[in-house]
Amino acid sequence: MKSAVIVFPGSNCDRDAQVALRQASGKDPAMVWHKDGTIPAGTDLVMVPGGFSYGDYLRCGAMAANSPVITQLHAHAERGGYILGVCNGFQILCETGLLPGALMRNTSLDFVCRPQQLKIETSNSAFTSAYDSESEISIPIAHHDGNYVADDKTLDTLEGEGRVAFRYVGNPNGSARDIAGVISENGRVLGMMPHPERAIGGHEGGTDGLSLFTSLMAAA
């Protein structure tokens, strides 16, 4: 699998993403600075990492969504490439229109940072095939604006098409219908607030995130 990580000013999970992709594929991902605007040819997976792109000014992910590299990200999606957006990356994907909905301030108004139980809603995706549907895993979360919102029609469509990938067990942020991660209509783009790249080797507190990268390896 040939992968790339997009790096924005304020990204702070890009190195975690690099380590996770290296462990999963045995190859270093390309680290793409957002102003370069070029995703290497032949890339299978682009990861948009967590952090605080542009300091979360205006609205989380809004400024990053207008960076030069976003045109290339859309082109990658249109040709059938995989995209994984984690935390701030999820916010950016929603701001670009690659995923529906938006991420708002946590209902508690507090930053939450802890291991979080998730339920696997579907194993019928390129991102979750290595998991068992309905099983529970523990993945770290760290966000202030993780409250996923969308209109009822969009939420019904996501549910009806099996595009809810993960659901919170004990909602930490007020997300609609406990949604923690959603998949695009073509099944090639996943956005999620929890950080699977921080649960790949045990030393972070578990390995439940590794199966997501294993799933992508099989798909690619």
pLDDT in tens, 89-103: 999 999 999 999 999
pLDDT in tens, 115-165: 999 999 999 999 999 999 999 999 999 999 999 999 999 999 999 999 999
b (16+ CB within 10 A) / e for 181-198: bbbbeebbbbbbbbbbbb
The secondary structure of the chain as a DSSP string is --EEEEE-TTB-SHHHHHHHHHHHHSSPPEEEETTT--PPTT--EEEE--B-GGGG-SSTTTTGGGSTHHHHHHHHHHTT-EEEEETHHHHHHHHHTSSSSEEE--TT-S-EEEEEEEEE--S-STTTTTSPTT-EEEEEEEESS-EEE--HHHHHHHHHTT-EEEEESS-SS--GGGEEEEE-TTS-EEEESS-GGGSSSSTTS--TTHHHHHHHHHH-
Tokens standing for 175? 């997300």
b (16+ CB within 10 A) / e for 125-146: bbbbbbbeeeeebbbbbbbbbb
pLDDT in tens, 7-28: 999 999 999 999 999 999 999 9
Structural domains of the chain, with CATH:
3-219 (3.40.50.880)
Q: In the prediction, which pLDDT does 17 show?
A: 96
Catalytic residue among 34, 76, 144, 195: 195
* Percent of the chain whose predicted confidence (pLDDT) is above 70: 100
Let me know if 13 is a catalytic residue. Answer: no
Let me know if 195 is a catalytic residue. Answer: yes
Let me know if 197 is a catalytic residue. Answer: yes
The secondary structure of 80-134 as a DSSP string is T-EEEEETHHHHHHHHHTSSSSEEE--TT-S-EEEEEEEEE--S-STTTTTSPTT
Catalytic residue among 87, 94, 143, 144: 87
Q: Is the dihedral of CA 119, 122, 125, 128 positive or negative?
A: positive
Q: pLDDT at residue 29 above 90?
A: yes
